Amino acid sequence: MNTFLKWLLIFLSIIVLGLFSYCVFVENIFASRLSPKDTVAYKFNDLKLEVFYNRPSKKGRDIFGALVPLNEVWRTGANEATTFETNKPLKINGMPLPIGKYTLWSVPKDTVWTVIFNSKQYSWGVDTEMKPMWDPNYDVLDVEVPVHKLDKTVEQFTIGFDNTTGDLSLTMAWDDVKVAVPIEEVPEKQE
């Protein structure tokens, strides 16, 4: 029995050492993330919308046209691919979007953004060469929305839902830029 306990202790020590090494060298699960995860949700009657994304910070950097290149596809956040989920069919800026879960990509430009809803689910937003993992073959919808310049700086990238005027929109803001993507629930057909 003494030998068994000795081997059990050695085995458990190896497991603890392995877990500790993983936490230190691979992913420090105890440290806060530079771009923390966030989920925003909107619920009204039976409509449920949800966005999962990561929130990078400005930290004194130039954002659009520098950190985030203009006229190129951006993962719309950091780390994992940003997702948008709806349980009802929608009209996005007047265009139909079926029920489902989509990855959300964007192409920031000076005066407009192209916002892309893509049906493929990606585990991460960029590949090893820091290129977006976006595959245009899975694009379900893309819309252009105008850029609004802000008077004050938004330090951390923020996605939200705005229904203050009775017109629902998906908003994205960072640095001195904000865009609003109009969303409308498609009424169910009466039989």
Mean of pLDDT values over 119-130: 85
Q: How confident is the model at residue 191 (pLDDT cuts 50, 70, 90)?
A: low
* pTM reported for the whole predicted model: 0.80
50-79 pLDDT, tens digit per residue, is: 999 999 999 999 999 999 999 999 999 999
Q: What distance in Å separates the CA atoms of residue 149 and residue 118, rounded to the nearest whole number?
A: 27
Q: What percent of the chain is predicted at pLDDT more than 70?
A: 92
Look at residues 153, 156, 116 and name the one whose alpha carbon lies nearest to residue 133.
Answer: 116
Residue 173 is which amino acid? A
Locate 69 and state its tokens. Answer: 């290149």
- The confidence score (pLDDT) of residue 25 equals 64
Residue 181, C-beta contacts closer than 8 angstroms, at least 6 positions apart:
92, 93, 115, 143, 145, 169, 170, 171, 172
| Res 190 pLDDT > 60 | no
Confidence category of residue 34, pLDDT binned at 50, 70, 90: confident
Q: How far apart are CA 89 and CA 75, in angstroms?
A: 24
pLDDT attached to residue 138: 96
Structure tokens at 103: 């990855």
Confidence of residue 12 (pLDDT cuts 50, 70, 90): confident
